[in-house]
Amino acid sequence: MFTVIDLFAGGGGFSYGFKSEGFIISAGVEINPSACRTYERNISPLQMFCTDIRTISGREFENQNPDVVIGGPPCEAYTPVSLNRMDNPIDRLYLDERGRLTLDYIRLVAHLQPKVFVMENVLQITEGQLKYALIEEFRQAGYERIYFNVLRSENYGSPSERTRVFISNIYFKGYLERFRVSRKTTVWSAIGDLPKPDFPHDIPNHSWVDIPKKFKKRWEKLRFGQSALYFGKGDKVFKDYTKLHPEKISPTVKGSGRFLHPYQPRLLSVREQARLMTYPDDFVFEGGLNEQYNQVGESVQPLISKLIAKAVKEYLTNGNKNWDFTPSFPR
């Protein structure tokens, strides 16, 4: 069986797909205590380090030769939603303390030298000279060919939009084309069978969450797809508390973002947002309510992690025999 170490493990969305595909999860590293509990409950790694990754040298791992290292360093330094994002893209990697955590991921990849690594982040981590800086950092870590696999989760059946880049030493986007779907999954097809949260049920993380008072009166007036809150800086405008259209795909689920239920005067429950992120109902989130929302919204969708795990397993098993995972085309 192939082994995985998960850095910036969060609640376990990335690891879940690999575990589902038969990989052994050797270790997880996560700083947030509640996310650690969620990860341990659902993933059961052989080792769990609930600590700041900057304190990890790599020698702590019992498995010093993992087949795969995965992880999603924090995106706050790179995402345009962050209103204090540095103007110069290269500064986001080398000067922003949050962005520098990406270098800690690369440092541990350099130490462990896995056969495959996969690092997830927002697409903006490739802006400007950032892409070439990352290529050089991974080259110094021992990997000559770097691929930027950009995946849109809704193309594979997710009921929510999510575009992310998966930086790896193998190219798997082309391999995953066979799993694309022609028919999109709507919000209501994902959450419509759940009972009202205030009715008797035994579904975890599915409780009634009131709309904040300042937005409550707006719920009835909002049409599907409209938002109760708009914010931004300069020409950057973002929205939150969107009243979901039941027959369309949901906007991107974010850790700090909330959605209004299309038919009931309340926020979507953690379970409903987890459904939009393709989590099964038996995946239980620990911690306070906001922490649970964050674990859902700041994760890799299990649907996508499972597809990536399929591709990685094919590469580890057969190399380039059935599919060229290491093409020579420009990165």
Q: Tell me the pLDDT tens digit for each residue of 163-179.
A: 999 999 999 999 999 99
- Using CA atoms, how far apart are residues 289 and 10, in angstroms rounded to an integer? 15
> Which runs of consecutive H residues, i.e. helices, occur in the chain?
13-20, 33-43, 89-94, 101-112, 130-140, 187-191, 213-216, 270-276, 289-297, 302-318
What would the mean pLDDT of 268-280 be, rounded to a whole number?
A: 98
236 pLDDT higher than 90: no
- Using CA atoms, how far apart are residues 196 and 200, in angstroms rounded to an integer? 8
In this prediction, residue 134 carries a pLDDT of 98
In this prediction, residue 230 carries a pLDDT of 81
Residue given tokens 């193309």 in the structure block:
155
Work out the burial of residue 113: count CB atoms within 10 Å of its CB; fewer than 13 is exposed, 13-18 middle, 19 or more buried.
middle
151 pLDDT higher than 70: yes
120 pLDDT higher than 80: yes
Residue given tokens 């924090």 in the structure block:
74
- Using CA atoms, how far apart are residues 323 and 81, in angstroms rounded to an integer? 37
pLDDT band at 237 (very low <50, low <70, confident <90, very high): confident
CB 99 within 8 A of CB 75: no
The set of residues, in sequence order, having a beta carbon less than 8 Å from that of 279 and lying 6+ positions away, is 13, 16, 296, 301, 302
Share of the chain above pLDDT 70, in %: 98
- Tell me: the pLDDT tens digits for 7-16? 999 999 999 9
39 pLDDT higher than 60: yes
Residue given tokens 């949050």 in the structure block:
98
Q: What is the DSSP string of 179-246?
A: G--SSPPPHHHHHTTSPPTTSS---TT---BPPPHHHHTTTTTPPTT-EEEEEEETTEEEEEEEE--T
214 pLDDT higher than 90: no
231 pLDDT higher than 90: no
Q: Order across the sheet with 116-122: list the strands.
A: 47-49, 24-29, 3-7, 68-71, 116-122, 163-168, 147-152
In this prediction, residue 82 carries a pLDDT of 82
What is the average pLDDT value for the chain, to the nearest integer?
95
Residue 99 CA: distances (Å) to CA of 78, 268, 299: 7, 31, 17
Domain topology for 187-297 = DNA Methylase; Chain A, domain 2 (3.90.120)
In the numeric block, which tokens belong to residue 249?
């795909």
User: How do 116-122 and 163-168 pair as beta strands?
Assistant: antiparallel
3-class DSSP assignment, residue 286: coil
Residue 170 CA: distances (Å) to CA of 68, 71, 241, 308: 11, 15, 38, 11
What would the mean pLDDT of 2-6 be, rounded to a whole number?
A: 98
47 vs 331, more confident? 47
Catalytic residue among 7, 75, 211, 303: 75
> Which runs of consecutive H residues, i.e. helices, occur in 3-129?
13-20, 33-43, 89-94, 101-112
- Using CA atoms, how far apart are residues 244 and 259, in angstroms rounded to an integer? 7
Residue ranges of the domains in the chain?
3-180+299-318, 187-297
In this prediction, residue 331 carries a pLDDT of 53
- Tell me: the pLDDT tens digits for 70-86? 999 999 989 888 878 99
Q: Which of 282, 254, 283 is nearest to 13 (CA)?
A: 283
In this prediction, residue 233 carries a pLDDT of 66
Which residues make beta-bridge pairs with 229? 240
Domain topology for 3-180+299-318 = Rossmann fold (3.40.50)
pLDDT band at 330 (very low <50, low <70, confident <90, very high): low
What would the mean pLDDT of 192-217 be, rounded to a whole number?
A: 95
- Tell me: the pLDDT tens digits for 86-103? 999 999 999 999 999 999
75 is catalytic: yes
Question: How far from chain centre, in Å, is Cα 88?
Answer: 25
Out of 5-14, 111-120, 217-226, least confident range: 217-226
Please, what sign has the CA dihedral across residues 8, 13, 14, 15? positive
What would the mean pLDDT of 116-145 be, rounded to a whole number?
A: 96
Share of the chain above pLDDT 90, in %: 90
